[in-house]
Structure 1
Amino acid sequence: MKTESQTFIVTGGASGLGEATTRELVSRGANVVIADLNEEAGAALAKELGESVRFVRCDVTSGEQVQAAVETSEKEFGGLAGSVNCAGIAIVQKLLDRDNNPADLDKFNKGVQINLTGSFNVARLVASSIAKRVATEGGPNNEDQGIIINTASIAAFDGQVGQASYSSSKSGVVGMMLPLARELTRHGIRVMTIAPGIFATPMMAGLPEKAQEQLKASVPYPKRLGDPTEFAKLVAHIIENAYLNADVIRLDGAIRMT
C-alpha cells in the first residue's frame, strides 16, 4: 500500500511515538487524524502540519469517541486506510506492597482497559470502516486495502517486577494479532504489531537522569534510547510492505530485560 494520499488514524498521535508517526506519515503525503486526549498538544500539532491533519479528542476505550475519529476520517478525507495505535499507559505496582497488602485491582484494570481493550476498540471500528469501503468498491481483489498497526512492548515478553498490568496488557495486544489478521484477510486488511524497547518519549523523560543512564547502558547496540523517528519509519515501512502481516517486530536494540 502506498502511504501517499491515504488516510490513517493515529491514536496517542499528539506526543511521543504517536507524534513521530503523525509527522512521518504526513511527510510521506498521507492524511492523519490525530486521536488523543491532549487537546492542546493535538490541536497545535494539527495546526502546524496543515490541511492534511485533523485532531479529534479521543479516549480509546470509548466506542463513541473512536467512532467520531473514524467518521472524521471519512468525512474530511473520503475514507480510511488504517490506524496506528500508540495510545497507552504504564501502570507500575507490585502484587504485594512492603506490608504484604494486595495490589489495587482498579489500577490493574485501568492498564488493561486502555492498552488492550482500547487497541481492540480502535481495531474493530477502523476495520469496519475499511471493510464497508472495500465492499462498495467490489471487494479486495487480492490487493492491499488496509492496515492496522498496534503497539505492544518488549514488556510483553520480558516483564519486570511491578509490570503485571502493563506486561499482561501488552501480551494481549500481541496475542490478538493473529486471530484478527486471519479474520480480516477476506477484506484485504493486514494486522501488525510493533514491540518497542526503551524509547526517548515523554514517559521516559519523567524518570530520574540516573535511571535513564542505566537504561541506556542496558541496550546492547546501539547503546542509547530509541528515537521515536525510528519507530515512525518502521510504521511507514510496514504500511508500504504488503507482505508483512500477522507478525510482531521488536524494535529494541537487542535488549532483553533481565
Structure 2
Amino acid sequence: MKNLIVSVIICFLAVQIGAAQSQCSKYYPLEEGVSFQYTSYNGKGKLEGKTDYTVSNVSDSGGKTSATMQMKYQDRKGKEIMSSDYGFTCEGNVVKIDFQSLMNQQMMQQFAAVEIDVTGTDIELPNNLTVGQELADANVKIAADMGGMTMNMNVETINRKVEKREKISSPVGDFECYVIYSENKTKMPMMGNKIFPSRVWLAEGIGMVKQESYNQKGKLTNSMVLTKFQK
C-alpha cells in the first residue's frame, strides 16, 4: 500500500513535465519531435529508472494548441516497463494538462489488472510566474474495482505556489529556474490522509529541470533530473 501511494504521487508530479510551449506557453517547446529524458533516483541517490518523453501530433485550431506526449519508462536495469500517451492543451496564457494524464508510469502498473474509473480537474501552469504567486489546485479521483469491492482513492495537489528563483545545474546545463512548491494530499481506505510535499524547478524554453518529493517529515524520498534534451 505504501508503494502504491508513492507511485500515485510520482505520477501526479510527473504531469508537470508534459506541459508545452507554443505561442501561448513559454516554458516548454511544443514542436513535433522534441524529446526529454528524466532520470529518477531514490532518497539515497540510487538510480531507480529513466523516463523518455517525445512531443507528437501538434495542432492549432481557434487559438488553442493541442499535442500528445509519448512516454516510455524503463527500470534501473534498462528494461522497458511501460509506455503510454497523454494529451494537453495550451490556450490563452495557460497550459492545461488533462487530469487523465495523471494516470501514467507506476500508477498504471498498479492498476493494470483492475477496472478503474478516473475523474478530476486539470492542472494549470500560467506563463507569467512571479515569486509568491499562488497557483490553482488540482485533483484526481480513482475508483478501482477490486473484484466485488471498490477502492476509492483521491489525490489533491494543494498549496501550489511559486516559492523562489534559483539557478541549478543539470547534465544538460545550468538554468535559472522558478521553484514551484506543492503538497500532494492522498486519501485512501484505512490509510487516512497523507500529505507529501514536493518542489519542481522550471526553466523557460526547457520545462522541468528537476523535481524532488519528500515524506511527511520533510525527508527526501525521490527525485527526477533532466538528463537529455533534444529539439
For this structure pair, what is the TM-score category when the shorter chain's length is used for normalisation? Answer: 0.3 to 0.5
**More strand by percentage:** 2
**More helix by percentage:** 1
Normalised TM-score (structure 1) = 0.32
Normalised TM-score (structure 2) = 0.35
